[in-house]
Amino acid sequence: MPQINITPTNPPKSGLRRRRRLPLLVPLFRLPGQLTTSEIRVRVPQPLIAISNGQLIHTAEDSDYKIYHWSQEQRHPTYLMTLAVGDFAEIQDQWQGKPVTYYVEKGREEDARRSMGKTPRMIEFFSDKYGYLYPFPKYAQVCVDDFIFGGMENTSTTLLTDRCLLDERAALDNRGTESLVAHELAHQWFGDLVVIKHWSHAWIKEGMASYSR
């Protein structure tokens, strides 16, 4: 299995602000209807955390590094593979015994709960309304700096822009974050579980996610 080694050119200083371009190339199928299981085994300098699709099946310490081995056993489109690495705070929640986790820049733990804390109730609601229980072994949301979209619904590991994190004052009149969280979560059923065959069908999954929020 190919392994990914992440070697920072600079040691992390200010949480997620220090963005690095990684010299990685992972050849993937391009069409959304081509499905596969996937595994990512990555070695990162501590204290960075690596988050990816599916279940964390193994971790190991290797001097100043830590190895994370993630495995996505349910077949999914390769465009939904992801790897997020950062000096994150990890906030743990759960739904029916499955881990629901929020990763944010350290110091923003309260904002994480304020912004994403309704996720377990949303999973419950969607599971009920769709008549199909949330299908993946965990659900993680990772808030990253300088993200080009609002969110990306990678299988079981959504990436969100850190602009969605709300402090107490911003939360008073902001409903956009909740909508974003619901939209990306709905994609776990529409787009990730039930996939589209071709990009020209993207309106189906986007339409369902927009309707759901």
> Binding string to Zn ion for residues 184 to 213, with x set by CB under 5 A, is what?
----------------------x--x----
Residues 39-68 that bind Zn ion (CB under 5 A): none
Residues 132-161 that bind Zn ion (CB under 5 A): none
Question: Would you say 147 and 16 are in contact if contact means Cβ atoms under 8 Å apart?
Answer: no
Strand partners, 4: 42
Cα angle 209, 29, 130 (rounded to 5 degrees) comes to 25
User: CA-to-CA distance for 94 and 117, rounded, in angstroms?
Assistant: 10
3-state secondary structure of 75: strand
DSSP codes joined into one string, 34-59: -EEEEEEEEEEETT-EEEESSEEEEE
**In the bound complex, what is the minimum distance in angstroms from residue 154's beta carbon to Zn ion?**
12
Among residues 39 and 206, whose Cβ is nearest to Zn ion?
A: 206
**In the bound complex, what is the minimum distance in angstroms from residue 205's beta carbon to Zn ion?**
7
Tokens of 123: 């999973």
Among residues 91 and 119, whose Cβ is nearest to Zn ion?
A: 119
**In the bound complex, what is the minimum distance in angstroms from residue 187's beta carbon to Zn ion?**
6
**In the bound complex, what is the minimum distance in angstroms from residue 103's beta carbon to Zn ion?**
20
Among residues 50 and 143, whose Cβ is nearest to Zn ion?
A: 143
Dihedral sign (CA 195, 153, 203, 149) = negative
CB-hemisphere CA count at 13 Å for 131?
A: 0
Type of residue numbered 130: Y
Among residues 123 and 209, whose Cβ is nearest to Zn ion?
A: 209
Among residues 52 and 154, whose Cβ is nearest to Zn ion?
A: 154
User: CA-to-CA distance for 67 and 159, rounded, in angstroms?
Assistant: 21
* Cβ-closest position to Zn ion: 209
**In the bound complex, what is the minimum distance in angstroms from residue 33's beta carbon to Zn ion?**
17
Binding-residue total with Zn ion (CB under 5 A): 2
Cα angle 197, 201, 202 (rounded to 5 degrees) comes to 110
Among residues 85 and 185, whose Cβ is nearest to Zn ion?
A: 185
**In the bound complex, what is the minimum distance in angstroms from residue 210's beta carbon to Zn ion?**
7
Q: Which residues bind Zn ion (CB under 5 A)?
A: 206, 209
